[in-house]
C-alpha cells in the first residue's frame, strides 16, 4: 500500500496550492523541498532587521469577489494574512530619469483613467480604449474569471496581438506609451515577443486592487 497518493516536488506557490487542493479532496500528499524555507519565490530574507521579499512584493485581486481573493478564501488564508491596501491613487508610479513626475497607476479602471488623463488630457480616448481593452481581454479568459465555459465559445482572436504593437497603436505620445508599459517588469516583458494578453492579465489584477503583505510574502507559505 502506497504511503502517499501524490508526491509533489517543490514547495513554491504552485506546489503548495496543488498539495492543499489534493489534501482537501481526501488524498495523502507529500511535498518535498530541498531548501530551508518553503515557498519558492515567496521566501524572504532580512538585513538589519528589515524584511525583503524575493519575489512577491505586492499582490492584486484581493478585494471580495476578485480572483485571488476567491483562491485565498478557499485555501483558508484571507482571515490570517496581514495585508495593507496600497495607495488607491497610485499603487505604482512610473518615473523617468529626465522627469521628476511620478505617473500613477491607480486602482479601479475609472480612477486609473481619470488619474492618467490628468497628466495626458489630449489622450483621453486612447486611455479609455486601453482600459476597455484590458478588461475585455481578461473577461475572455474563463479560468481567470473562475467560470466554466465551453472551449468552442471562447473568443480569443486577440492572442496574436503584441503588447507593444497595441500600445503603440493607441497613441503617438511616447511618454504615455512608456507609462502604460511601465509595469512590464512584473511579467518580464519583451517588446518583440510579449503578447497583449500577458500584459492585460497582469496589470488588470493590480488595477482591480493592490495589496502589500505586511510581514512579507513568506506568510502565505508559512500559514
Task: For 168-177, write each residue's pLDDT tens digit.
Answer: 999 999 999 9
- Closest-CA residue to 180 (of 166, 201, 159): 166
Greatest mean pLDDT range, 136-140, 172-176, 187-191 = 172-176
Mean residue pLDDT of the chain comes to 93
- Closest-CA residue to 97 (of 173, 171, 167, 175): 175
Question: What is the rounded distance in angstroms from the CA atom of residue 197 to the CA atom of residue 141?
Answer: 10
pLDDT of 36 reads 86
Task: For residue 52, give the 3-state DSSP assignment.
Answer: strand
Task: For 94-110, write each residue's pLDDT tens digit.
Answer: 999 999 999 999 999 99
pLDDT of 194 reads 97
Task: For 157-168, write each residue's pLDDT tens digit.
Answer: 889 999 999 999
pLDDT of 222 reads 85
Give the count of beta carbons closer than 10 Å to the beta carbon of residue 34.
Answer: 7
Name which residue leads in pLDDT, 223 or 70: 70
Name which residue leads in pLDDT, 202 or 219: 202
Task: For 113-133, write each residue's pLDDT tens digit.
Answer: 999 999 999 999 999 999 999
Task: For 28-61, write each residue's pLDDT tens digit.
Answer: 999 999 988 888 888 888 899 888 888 788 999 9
Task: For 61-77, write each residue's pLDDT tens digit.
Answer: 999 999 999 999 999 99
Question: What is the rounded distance in angstroms from the CA atom of residue 20 to the CA atom of residue 39?
Answer: 13
Question: What is the rounded distance in angstroms from the CA atom of residue 23 to the CA atom of residue 6?
Answer: 9
Those residues whose C-beta lies under 8 Å from the C-beta of residue 7, and which sit 6 or more positions away, are: 29, 30, 31, 32
Task: For 3-26, write each residue's pLDDT tens digit.
Answer: 999 999 999 999 999 999 999 999
Judged against a pLDDT cut of 70, whether residue 152 lies above it is answered with no
- The position carrying cell 489630449 is 122
Amino acid at each position: 500500500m502506497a504511503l502517499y497518493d501524490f508526491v509533489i516536488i517543490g514547495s513554491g506557490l504552485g506546489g503548495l496550492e496543488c498539495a492543499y487542493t489534493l489534501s482537501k479532496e481526501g488524498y495523502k500528499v507529500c511535498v518535498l523541498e530541498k531548501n530551508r524555507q518553503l515557498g519558492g519565490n515567496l521566501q524572504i530574507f532580512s538585513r538589519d532587521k528589515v524584511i525583503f521579499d524575493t519575489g512577491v512584493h505586492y499582490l492584486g485581486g484581493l478585494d471580495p469577489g476578485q480572483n485571488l481573493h476567491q483562491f485565498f478564501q478557499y485555501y483558508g488564508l484571507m482571515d490570517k494574512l496581514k495585508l495593507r491596501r496600497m495607495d488607491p491613487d497610485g499603487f505604482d508610479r512610473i518615473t523617468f530619469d529626465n522627469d521628476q513626475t511620478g505617473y500613477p497607476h491607480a486602482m479601479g479602471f475609472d480612477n486609473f483613467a481619470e488619474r492618467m488623463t490628468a497628466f495626458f488630457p489630449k489622450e483621453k480616448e486612447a486611455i479609455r480604449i486601453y482600459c476597455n481593452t484590458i478588461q475585455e481581454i481578461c473577461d475572455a479568459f474563463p479560468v481567470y474569471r473562475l467560470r466554466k465555459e465551453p472551449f468552442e465559445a471562447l473568443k480569443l482572436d486577440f492572442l496574436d496581438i503584441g503588447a507593444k504593437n497595441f500600445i503603440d497603436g493607441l497613441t503617438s505620445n511616447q511618454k504615455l506609451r512608456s507609462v502604460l508599459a511601465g509595469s512590464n517588469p512584473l511579467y518580464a516583458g519583451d517588446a518583440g515577443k510579449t503578447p497583449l494578453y500577458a500584459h492585460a492579465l497582469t496589470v488588470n489584477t493590480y488595477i482591480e486592487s493592490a495589496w502589500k503583505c505586511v510581514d512579507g510574502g513568506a506568510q502565505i507559505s508559512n500559514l
